[in-house]
Amino acid sequence: MNKSLLLTRPNHDPLTNYLYYWCEKVIQQARKSRVKVIDLDKKRANRKEFTSVIRKTNPSLVSLNGHGDDKTVTGFNNKVLIKAGVNEQLLAEKIVYALACRSAKALGPSSIKNGTKAYIGYDDDFVLMYDENKITRPLEDKTAELFLEPSNIVLISLLKGNDAKTSHLRSKEGFKRKYRALMTTESPQVDKEALPWLWWDMNHQVCLGDQNAQI
């Protein structure tokens, strides 16, 4: 298996576009850690290309960014990439971080049964708030940063050589830090409204499979 990171980065709506841009920080860390990056961005985040590339490259780490439900993570234009009972075997022997709603409820456990080393994701909706005034400049959006910076910790920690459990717990701690900072500072009202959702995302992030798995 190659020490490499495969990302899916669709950008067909405001939410996926935010994930698309915030993944750049993960890509920077991968390059710093000398981990090969395989980037299925924009329209390349489709099932045909994903299937072909994951089989050819056999990455050690997979980052899925998109919409989802209990059994599914989607790619560009919400077309299915991975679905429980259909093609989750593609994730065998890999560590997966799925930044998508609900996929850790059924797809995650099914992936583990089919040989995925570890699956980190969310067993309910992942809530992302953002500032509509920054929608064309996602990396400048301080509201979105509250959610996406802690989320990125999962992958950045794995890329630095930490195991799945450590990376998961560091991400949850990142959400806690954002929560506490908002509680103790004079933040804009829109940021205060993020408080329950930061706690929500933290509580619904789960780590399945081998807690000691490393890339």
CA distance 139 to 145: 8
Whole-number pLDDT of residue 89: 98
Domain residue extents for the chain? 2-209
Question: Which pLDDT value is given to residue 156?
Answer: 99
Q: How confident is the model over 27-59, as pLDDT tens digits? A: 999 999 999 999 999 999 999 999 999 999 999
pLDDT, position 185: 72
What fold is seen in the domain 2-209? Answer: Rossmann fold (3.40.50)
Residue 1: its pLDDT value, please?
A: 67
- Encode burial over 72-104: b for 16+ CB neighbours within 10 A, e otherwise: bbbbbeeebbbbbeebbebbeebbbbbbbbbbb
Contacts of 156 (CB under 8 A, 6+ apart): 25, 26, 29
Asked if residue 108 lies in contact with residue 121, where contact means CB atoms within 8 angstroms, the answer is yes
Return contacts of 165-174, CB within 8 angstroms, 24+ apart. Answer: 165/207, 165/211, 165/212, 167/120, 168/120, 168/205, 168/206, 168/207, 171/120, 171/205, 172/202, 172/205, 174/149, 174/150
Strand order in the sheet with 118-122: 36-41, 2-9, 59-65, 95-99, 118-122, 205-209
48 CB-near residues (< 8 Å, 6+ apart): none
Residue 20 has pLDDT above 90, yes or no: yes
183-207 pLDDT, tens digit each: 887 766 667 889 999 999 999 999 9
pLDDT digits (tens, 9 = 90+) for 133-186: 999 999 999 999 999 999 999 999 999 999 999 999 999 999 999 999 998 877
Q: 88-117: per-residue pLDDT in tens?
A: 999 999 999 999 999 999 999 999 999 999
